[in-house]
Amino acid sequence: MTLARQHQIQVVAHRGASEDAPEHTLAAYKKAVEDGADALECDVRLTADGHLVCVHDRRVNRTSNGRGAVSALELADLAALDFGSWKKHHGEAEEDPDWASATGEDTGADTSVLTLERLLELVAESNASGRRVRLAIETKHPTRWAGQVEERLLLLLKRFGLDAPPPEGPSPVRVMSFSARSLHRVRAASPTLPTVYLMQFISPRHRDGRLPEGVRIAGPAMRILRSHPSYVAKLRRAGHQVHVWTVNEPEDVELCAELGVDAIITNRPKQVLSQLNQL
């Protein structure tokens, strides 16, 4: 049961409900939707044959039973791998009686490689059933592909009618990146699609809270808020929304709420929602 909302902060499931289920799998995203997350975060990379898949690392070694760079593998190669069992072997959820349902162990499809297309279908299915779920898509290593990641991404979003906000309200999709150039490419192709500029630290050129031209949303790392809490007010004064990552600890959630951020990106959407409802 989803609790009535007592707060305005968007809770975004980072790589899905990735504390409970293997990151970037359908199982993790289904769990996040079930837990009541407002939005789903995913990283996208291009396969050797031009498909966008949801994988964080350059290589598949950490999160699957295979080896090699995503960019050197075709979708069929990735589809033969298991992206679920690594988490169990790391012991993170071995004691959890819900492990099988959280990981989709009994439905292998839920822990195979996830294409962005399938994730967009899940979002569409969830929204058709009355939920309002947004998607925050991060382009990984976009400079390497000279625009191909963004080109494929925009084509796919267009196919789902998600390359621009609907006339009646905000965009269900936003694109995030540490690369200002990648975000610029996205806006050049689709000027009204919201973009999020991710920051590991405050670079001198953004010290006053201003971001690369056209960017509406700031995506600072949680560590920035811990060391420079007043930066949130600067970003807001410059007209930006603030989406913070990756916020898993209760004291960090509390600080985010105190500072009035707009979105919290977390591996634990259920716990964060519950904490925010009690603040």
The catalytic position among 56, 206, 240, 243 is 56
Q: Catalytic: which of 14, 51, 206, 240?
A: 14
Q: If contact means CB under 5 to 8 A according to the sort of partner, which of Ca ion, ligand G3P, none does residue 245 touch?
A: ligand G3P
How near is the Cβ of 132 to Ca ion at its closest, in Å?
22
How far, in Å, CA of 249 to CA of 272, rounded?
9
Residues of span 120-159 touching ligand G3P by CB under 6 A: 138
Q: Among all chains, which residue has been given the structure tokens 């808020």?
A: 225
- On whether the CB atoms of residues 116 and 156 are closer than 8 A, the answer is yes
Which range touches Ca ion (CB under 5 A), out of 3-11, 135-143, 167-175, 267-275?
135-143
3-state class (DSSP) for residue 10:
strand
> 20, 43, 110, 262: which one contacts ligand G3P (CB under 6 A)?
43
Of all helices (H) and strands (E), which one includes residue 135? strand 134-139
Task: Return the DSSP state at 165.
Answer: -
If one asks whether residue 20 binds ligand G3P (CB under 6 A), the answer comes out as no
We find the least distance from the C-beta atom of residue 174 to Ca ion, in angstroms, to be: 12
Shortest distance in whole angstroms from residue 98 CB to Ca ion: 25
90 is catalytic: no
Which residue from 89, 78, 88 is spatially nearest to 112, judged by alpha carbons?
A: 78
Site for Ca ion in 236-265 (CB under 5 A): none
